[in-house]
Each structure stands twice: as structure tokens, then as C-alpha cells.
Structure 1
Amino acid sequence: MRQLRNRPALERAVAGVALLAGLAVAALPATVHAQAIGYDSAGAEDQSTAEPPPYKPAKSRKRGGKGIKRLEVTPYIEIDQILDAQLSPGNDVLTYTRAVAGVDAAVAGRNNGASVSVRYEHQFGWGRKAADGDAISGIARGYATVTPGLTVEAGGLATQATVDNGGSALPGGNVSTKSKTKIYSVYGGPSVATRAGDVNINANYRAGFTKVDHSNAYVAAPGSVAVDVFDKSVTQVADAEAGVAPGAVLPVGLAVAGSFYQEDISNLDQRARDMQARAMVTVPVGRTVQVVGALGYEDVEISSRDAVRDADGNPVIGSHGRYVTDKSVPRVLSYDVSGLTWDVAVMWRPSRRTSLSAHVGRRYGSTTYGGTLAYAPDDRSQLSISVYDNIGGFGGQLNRLIDQLPDDFEAVRDPVTGELTGCVATLEGNNCLSGALGSVRSSTFRARGVMASYSMRIGRLNAGLGMGYDRRKFIAAEGTVLAAANGVIDKNYWLAAYLSGPLGRNAGWATSAYANWLRTNDPLFGDVAGYGASASYYRLLTERLRATLAVGVDGATRDDPAIDDIWTASALAGLRYNF
């Protein structure tokens, strides 16, 4: 194993970038081009119609549409009465009163666009078992044009999940905040697109911050290694590209590009870094088909430090419930791959409503595959499919999925818990985030998977379905406290759906459902599955006052017969006033 020297100056710079990212997101919701080869701009003259990257899901590029302007801001307050009944393994019935303040907003114009849904809630528990608690949940994504060719993009997510002692994270769950873990992620940065004669020049920079508010260090047995749950990380991404389109100078397009990705994870000072440079050739095969070849060089490193050890050699766990990092020891490499990379992609765009790309190549020292499909047969339906392969940590993976959201969407929330359901309602691009959860282990990993989403409007009904598979193989240095996670594989099969519609002019209904099946080869922990469904009915009492009735059921099952299944049913009656 190689050792790396400390770089305190760089670490201080990373912390400063995290602060700047937070300030950017506070002003406006970001897109990260992490580890994308960048075929979308290789020789493309019109970036608004460029092909999406081969292994990055297609996303909306409708920057303000055809001059359509829209501004909607709806602040609201809400008061709810909630009944939470445990069906298994016990039969406790808990009652809560919940006060909520939130805002839903959307803006669209020629030079900017954003969608935001944020709410704060406080629960007052009735009785000693029903604890008080508060939470912030929300999702945002948007951009603003500073000057022609210069835009700033940003995004964010605040949600809760149920995290078990094995590091498995399930969305939804019951109303109680005692059993939930809070997850926050924000990021943003500028993008530049310009020309120098026939040469198109593009550059991007993004900085992000992710935090999981959960105490960890669960020890399965005395003397065994604790499961290290992700704490926080700072992500930086930068890329630049210059190229000419086919026919501008030569019959083929030519481009050169470079990219940088780094994620600094607080747990044991982990760092994942990926630097690459490449040259690309675009060959038009027909009016709708292009073939792109890339040849480059990549250097990928993952490193960490060990935990402080006591006199008996056992790792020390601090008052915050996490391992104490030994800053006195040098970094140790757990992953070090460098050398030539290559990639061949086929891109097909028969119309503005259909685009398909598929690629095969070599990265991370092995063969890699990927692709995207975006299909919108009409203005009332859309299908998005993507296959991906990347390296990073939990924070970087969450940033990537937020980035893939379009700028125009409506949040879909569980009517009882108020939490985001894992998908947003939109007719543009990928609309689900469920694949970001699954596992919140602190170790870095290589993620491979596929995700698909389909949304449509049927008359006055809105419907959406998302599903996917995410496989994470964790990477950790031997001889450190993280070594127990090295080679562990966690798999997450997930499903999320919603359906809603009106009942006359003053009433409506909504339903949603989710399922997650989490599998692991970790011998200390078994598989777990989570399920949930909800339904609600609302009626306008006045133009601004709305009454809601809702019911929901959530459950979690494990393959360990010694652990009881957990099932909870909930009901809500509430009033909401829109300002």
C-alpha cells in the first residue's frame, strides 16, 4: 500500500468551497457533470440540441422554452392531527399534532428556470411515547443566466430515511421522527459556453456538500468492527472541452477535454479523486446517427486514514458516535488505477422527441458499459432510461441524481408524513431519486446500475412510475478500521409510483406507493425490504383553505427470523391555507 502526505491547504480550500456552495444554493437551486465523458458537446455547434452524455441520464435542456414566462409562488401553513398505529410487532397507538410552514415555487423564462418545494414542520406528541420533533424537507433545482454564455446552476435536497444498524436506508416510514435519519445535500456552480472561430469551448465547475445526521458505530458483537455510517462530504467537479463540429473544418468532428472529480468524506478522512484527459472524434454515419470514439488517460485514487486506537488496539469511538480519525498517520491508498482509457459510443437522434446513446469502453481498469434513452411520444408522456457506472461516495452519488432532475417539476409528497416519495411529477427527463438511498455506509464504492422513469398525463390524471437497480461494491484500505467493508456488495432494487387527479372543481385525490429490496453479502447483516402506500382526499372549503383526509401504511421486513417485521398504519386529518 502506498502512503500519501497530508495536504492541509487543500483540505481548507475544500471547506471553503463547501461554504460557497451553500451560499449559491441559498440564492438559487446545480448540475454536476461528474465523471461524464462529455459526448454531448464534442463538436456540437448548438448546445441546446446536443446529445446527452452516453452514461448520464438525459435531462431537460428547455432553458425557458420559447419565450414563455411563468412565476408561481405559493407559501402555506398547515395544521394536522395524526394517528399512528403500530400493527407489528406491538400495538401501540400514538397521536401527534403537526404544525407546518412551507412554500412551493416555480419560475420559467428565457434566461432562468427553477422549481422549489420546501417545508418545515414541528410535531407535538401526545403522551410520553409520542415524542416531539421537527424536520425540514424539500427539493430544488434551477439555473440563472448571468450573461450570454455564463449560467449558474444549483440544486438541493432535504429528506428523511429509516436507517438500520447495517447501514441500509429505506425511504418513507412512520410518522415518528425518532426512528428517522435526516439527509441534506446542496451544490452549485457556474457553466461557460463560448466560441473562438469554429471552436466551441465549454467549461463547468460544481461544489457540493452532503450531510447524514445519524449517530453510528453499531457493533454487532463485542470486539467486532462497527458499521461506519456516512457523516458528511464535500464534492468538487470541474471539466473543460474544446472542439469543432463535423463539417466545420474536416468531415469529422474533433475535440479535446479534461475533467476532475474529488469527494472528501469526513469519516476517517476518505478521499476519492478521478482525473482524466481525452481526445474525441465524431463521425457522422447518417442524418440521425453518429459514432464517437474517445481515447484518453485516467488516474483514479481512493485513500483514507485509520482510526485512533486505544491501548488494546481497539478503534476509539468519539462522543459523536463515530470513529475518531488518527490525523497523525499518513493516508493509505485503497484504490489506485491509472492508464489509458477508451470508449466507443453510438448516438441516434431520429427526432427532437427521441434520442438514444449506448457506449462500451474501458475505465477503472475494467470494461464499462452505459447508455441513455429519452423518448417523448407526445406532449403528455415521456420515458427516460439510463445505465451508469461511476466511482465516489454517498454524497457524490446523491449529487448526481439531483443533477439529473429537470428544472420544471412538482414535488410528490406522502400525504401523511409530508416526506418526498422518491419521485417528482414532470414530463421532462428522469424524475426519481430513490436510487440514491439503499445504503449509507461511509466507504467509497463503485456504483453500477440502471434506472427508468415514465410519466404521463391521462386526461386530467397525473401518473408516474420509476424503477431501478443499484449495485455498490465498497472500497476500503486493508489494515484500517474500514477494511471490513472492502469488497462488500450492497444491491438496491427499488420501485416508486404516484397517481393523482381531480374530483370536480373543488376536490381531488392522490395515491403513491414505494418498495425497496436491499440485498447485501455482508455476513453480519441480512437483507431488508421496505414497502409503503398512501391515499388522500382533499376539498377546498374556500378559495385558499383546503381540508385533507389521508391514510397510509408502511412496513419493513428482514430475512432474520430473530427480528420482527415492522408494520405501521397512519391516518391524518388536516387544514391547509395557501397565501
Structure 2
Amino acid sequence: MRRRVWPGLVVTLGLFAVPSEAAPRDKALAPYIEINQAVTADLNTDDVLTYSTVAAGVEASVHNRRAQAQVSYRYEHRISWDKRVGDADVHSGLARGTITLARGVSLEGGAIATRVRSDIRGAAPGNLVGNVDNISQVYSAYIGPTLARHVGSVGVTASYRYGYTKAEAPGTTGVAAGSVPLDVFGTSQSHVVNASAAVKPGAVLPVGITLSGAYERDSASQLVQKYEQSLGRADATLPVSGSVALTAGAGYEKITVTQKDPLRDGNGVPVVDSRGRFVTDPTAAPRIAYRTDGLIYDGGVLWRPSPRTQLQARVGWRYGGMTYSGSFSYAASRAVGVQVAVYDSFDTFGRQLREGLAGLPTSFVDQPDAFGQQFSGCTFGAAGGAAGGSAGGATSAAAGGCLNGVFQSISTAAYRARGVDAVLSARRGALNVGIGGGYATRRFAAPEAGGFSIDGVTDESFYAQVFAGAPIDRNSGVNGNVFANYYESGIAAAPGVFSTGATGLYYHNFGRIAAQASAGLYSFNQKGIDDQLSAQAQLGMRYHF
């Protein structure tokens, strides 16, 4: 199937000029074109398919006092040699950046294009080429200004973010016949406004005081879903030693999620369109999927024994129950960083993806993967250091971050997202190593209706990834990726899905021309279904302009 070229990844540019994962220069720009020949084999049936690819991309970066940004984008057109595998356009890319426009005024943005699983119950192919099931092309971007000024001893901050997310329908999902249909995400748009005023401890009072407020609106096309949040709170920080402070906060929060009912046929079965999305009942009024309205509060501790180490932990009351959150960051050196984050938030898919994207570093290691896994898992920082950030938070993390919890499935229904992400990123010369993993769970909220409702269903996933890239000499090198994922749907009779994979790439540069060879081995299994095992290899040439 032909796919539209994604126009989005245009942020201040950035790159590693060749796949050697060398540390980024102040400015770098390397557009390229590429041709490849690939073969994929189903090792269960001995079915072998071949195809060719033509690709164009750019890898670029800028890192100076006014701008910190990087983009890695690739467009690939796959040309089938076999009628069983259709031609396809594939987009893969990540952009993150922040630019200082004037004193106290900055512009931040990010964008991503990747292919990910759609239905958590369905197939989990590691090889994302050919006629694979349960894969959707996803695009997402956000942008907005931030104002930070001091008025006397009061620090004032205000920001606005606009976000947009689109997911193409996956086609077949590999879910067993007769299973209940789930909604298929289309598009969403979000608007977020934040403002705060803060006084540091000792400036006026022994405690630091922060007053903050926020408003957010997220609208999804499927079933006309709307997410609306209003928040106001006050926080206090009390230093108890040179490295330890106690924190406490309280406020008011209101969240309302509404959606319309799907149109049903004469048998009461939801009607879907040609892409598998529910058709909205035009006569239906919006119904409450989730609502919370009232007091929120939390308390915790902040430990910062050095500028390179920070620990935060909080426990409180929110979303009608206890909440736990926190983060740990450690920069062993400029080349080694560790980031751990525990999150708890009420989200939609578009909202969580925007927050996760904002938590990725503005300088990251490009992980060349000819078979489609790049940017859908963990992204590792190209420089050491760590500071905040995960799929559950919007603070950029120099060590890196993981989007696995966001991409465990694509759902229109709103949900409470909880989990933990951990990333280690290390560099020694031109050698890069990244290790990431975590756990994520979602508890869905939807209106009660006749027949099946996803309300109260809880999904879970576990994930781990290891990446390494190293030069062999000044003109050649290798990199590899190993990953494992486990998905468990809370829907009755849905089997758990376990997938693993390993990929490797060798390259050799001849001036502006680079030859490269890739190979991958993938496996996934579901209870009651034969294990799926496949392999792929690719040879190609790349020309750098």
C-alpha cells in the first residue's frame, strides 16, 4: 500500500555524519540517498521473499549556546519482487530541539515518525517489512514557546504547547477471529498552557513557595473523544540540610473525558468503516468516560548530594487514590548517564506520546536499523549526564528515555498510566552503549454501554533493550541491537504475547560512499498459536552529500 510522505521533521537540524555514532559536532548536516536489496525468510514455513528499497534521509544537529537540536529522518520506498508483498512507503525519524529566541524566551519542539504495534492482543513482529500484521505508521509532533523571567525575587514561568498525533490503520492485527473489536486511533490535537510563580527558600521565607496552574484540552477524532484538565496547586520546599529538602503540595484538579457511542447495526454490533474504525452515532450525545474533581496532595523528599546526582520521591492522593512518583538521575561523567523515572498520570495516547517525546534528549545516538525498530523503543543520549524525563514526564533527559510504555498499544480510550523506565547511556571515544528497560500498565476508562466495554480493563507490558555501536577502524564499524518485550491484555481470553529480536549492521566508508550489510533474527509467540520465527538480510550502498 502506498503511504503519503511525512512532511513533519523540520526542526533545527542535526547529525552524526556516518553510522559511527561519533559524538556530535557544534553543527553537522548530512543528507544522503541509499539503495538496498533485502531478503526475508519465514523460518517456520521456509517462505522466502525479496524486495528492493530506495531511500533518502538527513541526519543533522546543532549544539551551541542558543540552540540544542538534532534530527534523524529517513524516507524509504520498498519495491516488491513478489505479488504477496506490496510496495510501501515507510517513514522513520526523530527530532528534538530547543532554541533561545531572546533573553528568557525559548521555543521547544519535537517530532517522531515510526511503526509500532496497534492492538496489544495481536501479533508482535520484530521485522516490520512485508505484509506484517498489527503494525501502524505513527506520526506525532509538538511545539511551543516558554517564557521565564524574574520579577524581583519571584521567578515567573509560562508556556504553551500544541501537539498533533496521527496513526494509520493497521489492517489485519493477528487477533483471533471472534475477539471483541477495539477502537482504532485516528488523529488527535492538544493545547496545553502552564504558568507558575516561585520564590526560592530563604529569599522571603525559610521555605520555598511555588504557585502553579495548568489547562489542557486534547481532542481525538475517533468517537469524538475530548480530554479536558484544569489544575491549580501550591508547593513548598523546606531544606533540612545542604543536600536534602522536604517537599509538600496541595491543590485542586478537575479532569473530564467524554466520548460518543459508536453506531450499532440491527444486532447491536458496532459499525466500523473500511479502516476498522468505529463509526460515530450522529444522534448520540457525549457521555462521561472518566471524571475526577477535587483536592489533590502529595509530599516527598529531594536529595541532591552533587550537581551530578539527584533523587526525587513523592507519595500522595490523586485520581481518587494513592499515587507514587519519582526520579533518579546520575551523571557519572560527561560520557556516562543514568536515568530512572516512576510515573503515574491519567492520559490519552496522544497526550502520553507528546509527554514522552518531550522527555527525550536533544542530543541522541542514532541507532541504524534497516528493519524498522528505530525510535519505537529506547532512545539513548549522545552525551553523558541525566536530568529528569520519561514517558510519564515532560523534562528532557540527557541520558535518554523509552517510549515502549507509550507504544505497548494504540488506543483511543483514555487510561491511567503507571510504570517505571530506566536508561543507561555510555560513551567511550566512538563506542556507544545503551541499556534500557521498564514496566508499564494502563487501566482504561470508557462509558458503560450495552455489550463489551473496555472500562476497567488493565494492560501490562515489560520491555528491555541493549544497543552498542563501535568503530573497527577509521572507515568501518558495527552496531547491534537486542530487545525483548512481553505484552499482557486484561481482556478475557486474550493471550500474552512475547517477542524478541536481534539486529546487526556492518558499514565501510569509501569517501562519500558507504557500503553496508544488515541482518536480523526475530521471534514472537502467543498462547495457542505456533511460534513465529523469521530472519532478514540486506545489502546496500549509501551516498552522503
TM over 0.5: yes
Q: Note if contact 1:552-1:570 (Cα within 8 Å) is conserved in structure 2.
A: yes
- Give the aligned partner of residue 71 of structure 1: 27
Question: 1:117 — aligned with what?
Answer: 72
Q: How big is each residue's C-alpha offset from its partner over 1:195-222, in whole Å with a ceiling of 9 and x where there is no partner?
A: 2111110011111111110156989666
Once the two structures are superposed, residues 281-302 of structure 1 have per-residue CA deviations (whole angstroms, 9 ceiling, x without a partner) of 1111111122121111111212
What do residues 211-248 of structure 1 show as CA deviations (whole Å, max 9, x unaligned)? 110156989666x7422122221122221101211111
Residue 271 (structure 1) aligned to one of 188, 203, 226: 226
Within 5 Å, give how 1:429-508 maps onto structure 2.
429-479=399-449, 484-508=453-477
Distance 2:428 2:162 in 1: 39
Residue 419 to residue 242, structure 1, CA distance change in 2 (3 Å): closer
Q: 5 Å matches for 1:279-294? A: 279-294=234-249
Task: Work out the CA distance in 2 between the residues paired with 1:26 and 1:200.
Answer: 32
Give the Å deviation of 1:321: 2.3
**Aligned residue among 149, 173, 178 for 2:127:** 173
Greater Cα offset, 440-449 or 467-476: 440-449
Cα offset, 1:455, TM superposition: 1.1
Structure 2 residue 509 is the aligned partner of structure 1 residue 529 = no
Q: Within 2, Cα distance between the matches of 1:320 and 1:552? A: 31
- Counterpart CA distance in 2 for 1:101 and 1:181 is 21
Which range moves more in the overlay, 391-400 or 443-452? 391-400
Q: Does the 8 Å contact 1:216/1:227 carry over to 2?
A: no
The counterpart of 1:260, out of the listed 183, 206, 215, is: 215
**Contact 2:32/2:58, CA 8 A, preserved across alignment:** yes
Counterpart of 2:379 in 1: which secondary structure?
strand
More helix by share: 1
Between 1 and 2, higher relative CO (CA 8 Å, sep ≥ 6) is seen in 1
Tell me the SS of whatever aligns to 2:357. Answer: helix
What is the TM-score with the length of structure 2 in the denominator? 0.89
Number of aligned positions between the proteins: 513
Which residue of 189, 206, 217 maps to 1:251? Answer: 206
- Residue 80 of structure 1 corresponds to 36
Instruction: Please tell me whether residue 512 in structure 1 is matched to residue 481 in structure 2.
Output: yes
C-alpha separation in 2, matches of 1:446 and 1:496: 25
For the structure 1 residues 282 and 489, does the alpha-carbon distance in structure 2 shift closer, same or farther, using more than 3 Å as the test?
same
Distance in 2 separating the partners of 1:351 and 1:174: 44
Match of 1:552 in 2: 520
TM-score of the two chains, using structure 1 as the length reference: 0.84
Q: Secondary structure at the match of 2:353?
A: helix
Q: Which amino acid aligns with 1:214?
A: A
Cα distance change, pair 93–144 in 1 and its aligned pair in 2 (3 A):
same
CA distance in 1, matches of 2:514, 2:172: 45
The answer to whether residue 206 in structure 2 is matched with residue 240 in structure 1 is no
> Given the superposition, is the C-alpha separation of residues 163 and 505 from structure 1 closer, same or farther in structure 2, using an over 3 Å criterion?
same
CA distance in 2, matches of 1:412, 1:113: 20
The letter for the 1-side match of 2:355 is R
The question of whether the paired residues in 1 share the 8 Å contact of 2:38 and 2:539 is answered with: yes
- Aligned to 2:147, the other structure's residue is in SS state strand
Judge conservation of contact 1:217–1:227 (CA < 8 Å) in 2: no
Provide the aligned C-alpha RMSD in A. Answer: 2.3
CA deviations 1:47-89 (Å, max 9, x no partner) are xxxxxxxxxxxxxxxxxxxxx981101101111111101112x
CA gap 1:296/1:193 in 2 versus in 1, 3 angstroms? same
Identical-residue share of aligned pairs (%): 37
- Provide the rounded CA distance (Å) in 1 between the counterparts of 2:27 and 2:409: 37
Residues 69 and 109, structure 1, Cα contact 8 Å, conserved in 2 = no
Residue 440 of structure 1: SS of its match in structure 2?
Answer: coil
SS at match of 2:42: strand
What's the CA shift for 1:430? Answer: 2.7
Is the alpha carbon distance of 1:334 and 1:407 closer, same or farther for their aligned partners in structure 2, counting shifts above 3 Å?
same
Distance 1:349 1:269, change over 3 A: same
Q: Residues 416 and 315 (structure 1 numbering): CA distance in 2 closer, same or farther, change over 3 Å?
A: closer
Which of 157, 179, 190 aligns to 2:145? It is: 190
The CA distance in 1 between the partners of 2:168 and 2:306, in whole Å, is 45
Runs of at least 5 residues in structure 1 that lack an aligned partner in the other structure:
1-21, 30-67
The aligned residue for residue 538 of structure 1 is 507
| Equivalent position amino acid for 1:377 in 2 | A
| Alignment CA distance shift 1:69-1:465 (3 Å) | closer
**Separation in 2, partners of 1:549, 1:245:** 55
